[in-house]
Amino acid sequence: MKTIKTEILGADVAGYDRAAAILAAGGLVSFPTETVYGLGADARDDQAVARIYAAKGRPSFNPLIVHLSATDAVAEYVDMTPQARKLADAFWPGALTLVLPIKADAKVSKLVTAGLQSLAVRVPDHPVAAQVLSSFGGPIAAPSANPSGRISPTTAAHVRAGLDGRIDGIVDGGACGVGVESTIVSCVGAPTLLRAGGIPVDAIEACLGTALLRDEDPAAPAAPGQLASHYAPTGQVRLNAPYAEAHETYLGFGAGDAALNLSPSGDLIEAAANLFAMLHELDALGAKHIAVGPIPNHDLGQAINDRLRRAAAPRD
Ligand code: TXA
Ligand code: MG
């Protein structure tokens, strides 16, 4: 991966303006929230979101949390169920992430949801995060700002140690107060705890007046990434195909003829940006048999291949 200059930005008007300009240009900016530092990108921009995965070196497309400035803004993207509304009123802004059904017309990159029909949303409780969100004026997708497999950063120095040269900027807003990630509750079905975190489970259960289901509960929805094929096209998928047979629709990578091409120039960031949209497009085309060209297994290629292996896995 090419090294870029990582600007250290102040928690002041000049810093927020610069952060907003970088985000608007499709770049990556780390900023503090009350839990941990996030690695932000414009959640509507496929290429910008793909860069998050590239910078973190994530070997798979785990879906990302979209950060918004207020509960009103959240309601543009997801269906606020009555239980979600209760939790939002009680805990936002704050260290609670809600997973909710995504609206059909929500303008969010499919790479953010990793192709799921749900979206994780949160209104952070930190003045710097709030200023970055309002200066930018749009949804910011942000995982914790650590390289994949490393611990979450709670200072700008931690972020720099892990991601210097891989991201465009870091807004230095001091140490994070909470220090652990947000609690994640899915309200897609019965409220289910997906991750313990900054807001105690007891407080959430007291607010709802019922116990949360746990992930391991047989009645709970399966966590993403756990499933072999949580999003797969309807058609059968054959991988590492140098060319398509007559009955197959070809999803190519690099130069050559293909019905759809993840990146004619062989760029892995572009391919990641196109992946989920093209899997959906194959469905729209009614493709029954899909052949996918070989994709190099380095950098973002690892995450792309992980996703494609799931798409090709046998299904019930
Ligand atoms: O405190 C936090 O939550 C921090 C700050 C930056 O906001 N962010 C954070 O993001 O911890 P990350 O990417 O490290 O963890 C997000 C978690 C992942 O485990 C992911 O699987 C889950 O949220 N997630 C995201 N979207 C989901 C969805 N639609 N359904 C279920 N889980 C989802
Ligand atoms: Mg993380």
Is a pLDDT exceeding 70 seen at residue 316?
Answer: no
64 Cα to the center of ligand 1, angstroms:
5
Is a pLDDT exceeding 80 seen at residue 208?
Answer: yes
Q: What pLDDT, on a 0 to 100 scale, did the predictor assign at position 229?
A: 45
Ligand nearest to the CA of 37: 1
pLDDT in tens, 137-160: 999 999 999 998 888 899 999 999
- 72 contacts 180 by C-beta, under 8 angstroms: no
Does residue 154 line the site of ligand 1, with CB under 6 A?
A: no
pLDDT in tens, 2-19: 799 999 999 999 999 999
pLDDT in tens, 80-109: 999 999 999 999 999 999 999 999 999 999
Which residues are paired to 313 by β-bridges?
none
DSSP 162-210: HHTTTSSEEEE----SS-SPPEEEE-SSS-EEEE--SS-HHHHHHHHTS
Domains detected in the chain:
7-214 (3.90.870.10), 236-312 (no CATH)
Does residue 192 line the site of ligand 1, with CB under 6 A?
A: no
152 Cα to the center of ligand 2, angstroms:
6
Cβ neighbours of residue 22 closer than 8 Å, sequence gap 6 or more: 7, 28, 29, 168, 169
* Residues, CB within 5 angstroms of ligand 2 (ion): 144
Does residue 261 line the site of ligand 1, with CB under 6 A?
A: no
pTM of this prediction?
Answer: 0.89
115: helix, coil or strand? coil
Q: What pLDDT, on a 0 to 100 scale, did the predictor assign at position 219?
A: 62
Which residues are paired to 290 by β-bridges?
237, 249
The CA-to-CA distance between both ends of the chain, in Å, stands at 39
- Nearest atom within ligand 1 for CA of residue 62: 21
Ligand nearest to the CA of 147: 2
- 226 contacts 215 by C-beta, under 8 angstroms: no
- Nearest atom within ligand 1 for CA of residue 182: 1
Does residue 30 line the site of ligand 1, with CB under 6 A?
A: no
Is a pLDDT exceeding 70 seen at residue 227?
Answer: no
pLDDT in tens, 41-72: 999 999 999 999 999 998 888 899 999 999 99
